[in-house]
């Protein structure tokens, strides 16, 4: 768990051996290969804009999932939270209760927060294992997303024009959705690294027993973390619906799998207490590149799913091998 303390202080060596560095290297190689194989089609303004815009909500979700994974939990209902909050917001807009895009975003985040808090309460006070709690709530949220809309969907012309154009316009040459990702990233980075509560999350994840004895209220940490995750789910719900210009019950079906994969590739451990925001950002970008680039390299559409799975698997396996190597070296150094 604590390889950092075992290492000799050496800034550059540490930089090269860190997880993020190896991931960055893999990413650069990946981009280089794609750029070469696609005949220079990949690194163009259009493609980059397209990729970042379309995967913005997945990336945002990954930061929420990071918090949940850090405390040793997991949330497989986040795709359903996204669908429910997005649907609720669009229905409010259709029926004329919401007339301002900003209010729509806030409302969606509110719905998401409520979903997250419910999960947090079930996990902490109800003592239900996270995967089961979120499995059950996934059914509930997804079902509700269909139910509140009466098994219908909200079409593009029923949404506010400002709401839809927000996702397609830019500020300082960068798409608004991408700005949201960057803001969430910075906030999450600072929050986890330099605030007391952020450190409490790490403590609660790496050793709950010790954290409890040292005076951390684990239940409170859990509820707040799932709450924040819900808020981010709601935010992503608004982002997705404004990007697609419609809301359906099936929005983001299976998104949780992409999100968890992004986190794991980014070096977050499913056992809790390990991982950081920068790694997750890299992981999310990697997933986005994989998802988008395969068609550019001329691989036909029906291969893409299988290859995506294989790449995720290989990335995870390579990560394990690297970690084993690091641990072995650390052990050797201690012997001397």
Partner 1 sequence: MATKSGRVISHKSEFSLAKLFLRWEALLILIFLAVNVMNICLSPYYLNAYNLFTNINNFMNTAIIALPMAFILLLGDIDLSVGGNVCLSATMLGIVYNATDNIWLGIAACLATATLCGLLNGVILTKFSELAPMIVTLATNIIYRGLSERILGNGSTGGMLNVSWFSKIFYGRLFNLIPYPLIVFAVLAVVFGLVMHKTAFGRRMFAIGSNKKAAAYAGVKVDKIRLLVFTLTGFMCGLSAVIYCSKLGSVKSDVADGFDLEAISMCVLGGISTAGGKGTMVGAVIAVFTVGLLRYGLGLINLEGQTIRIIIGALLICVVMFPTIRDAVKKLFAKKK
Residues in touch with partner 1 (CB under 8 A)? 72, 74, 122, 125-129, 131-133, 135-140, 142-144, 146-147, 151, 207-209, 249, 257, 260-261, 264, 270-271, 302-310, 312-313, 316-317, 320, 323
Q: How far is the CB of 266 from partner 1 (least distance, A)?
A: 12
Instruction: Tell me how far, at minimum, the Cβ of 163 lies from partner 1, in Å.
Output: 25
Give whichever of 187 and 317 is closer to partner 1, judged by the CB atom: 317
* Cβ-based nearer residue to partner 1, 245 or 283: 283
User: Which is nearer to partner 1, 43 or 307 (by Cβ)?
Assistant: 307
Q: How far is the CB of 51 from partner 1 (least distance, A)?
A: 19
d(CA 119, CA 132): 10
Please state the φ and ψ torsions of residue 170, each to the nearest 5 degrees: -125, 165
CB atoms within 10 A of CB 158: 16
- What does the alpha-carbon distance between residue 157 and residue 99 come to, in Å, rounded to a whole number? 14
Question: DSSP class of residue 9?
Answer: P
Please identify, using beta-carbon distances, which residue of 33 and 314 lies nearer to partner 1. 314
How many helices (H) and strands (E) in the chain? 16, 2
Q: Which is nearer to partner 1, 109 or 294 (CB)?
A: 294
CB of 61 to partner 1, least distance (A): 15
CA 78 vs CA 93, 209, 241: distances in Å? 22, 27, 15
d(CA 299, CA 307): 10
The tokens describing 241, both together, are 């619906």
Q: How far is the CB of 311 from partner 1 (least distance, A)?
A: 9
- Taking alpha carbons only, the member of 251, 256, 228, 229 closest to residue 90 is 251
| Minimum distance from residue 136 beta carbon to partner 1 (Å) | 4
Q: Pick between residue 242 and residue 319 the one whose CB is nearest to partner 1.
A: 319
Which of 128, 26, 112 is CA-nearest to residue 77?
Answer: 112
């Amino acid at each position: 768990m604590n390889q950092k303390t075992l290492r000799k202080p050496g800034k550059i060596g540490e930089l090269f051996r860190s997880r993020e560095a190896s991931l960055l290297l893999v990413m650069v190689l990946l981009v280089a290969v794609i750029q070469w194989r696609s005949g220079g089609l990949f690194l163009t303004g259009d493609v980059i804009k397209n990729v970042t815009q379309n995967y913005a909500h997945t990336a945002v979700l990954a930061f929420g999932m990071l918090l949940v994974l850090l405390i040793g939990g997991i949330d497989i209902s986040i795709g359903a939270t996204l669908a429910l909050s997005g649907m609720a917001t669009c229905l409010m807009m259709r029926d004329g209760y919401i007339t301002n895009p900003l209010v729509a975003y806030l409302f969606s985040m509110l719905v998401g927060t409520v979903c997250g808090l419910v999960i947090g309460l079930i996990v902490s006070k109800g003592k239900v294992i996270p995967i089961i709690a979120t499995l059950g709530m996934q059914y509930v949220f997804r079902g509700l997303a269909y139910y509140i809309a009466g098994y219908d969907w909200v079409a593009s012309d029923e949404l506010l024009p400002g709401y839809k154009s927000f996702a397609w316009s830019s500020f300082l040459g960068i798409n608004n959705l991408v700005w949201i990702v960057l803001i969430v990233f910075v906030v999450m980075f600072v929050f986890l690294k330099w605030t007391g509560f952020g450190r409490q999350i790490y403590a609660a994840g790496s050793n709950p027993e010790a954290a409890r004895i040292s005076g951390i209220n684990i239940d409170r940490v859990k509820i707040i973390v799932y709450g924040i995750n819900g808020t981010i789910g709601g935010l992503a719900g608004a982002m997705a619906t404004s990007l697609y210009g419609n809301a359906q019950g099936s929005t983001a079906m299976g998104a949780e799998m992409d999100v968890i994969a992004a986190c794991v590739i980014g070096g977050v451990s499913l056992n809790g207490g390990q991982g950081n925001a920068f790694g997750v950002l890299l992981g999310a970008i990697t997933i986005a590149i994989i998802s988008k680039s395969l068609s550019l390299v001329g691989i036909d559409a029906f291969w893409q799913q299988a290859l995506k799975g294989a790449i995720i698997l290989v990335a995870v396996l390579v990560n394990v091998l690297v970690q084993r190597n690091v641990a072995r070296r650390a052990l050797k150094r201690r012997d001397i």
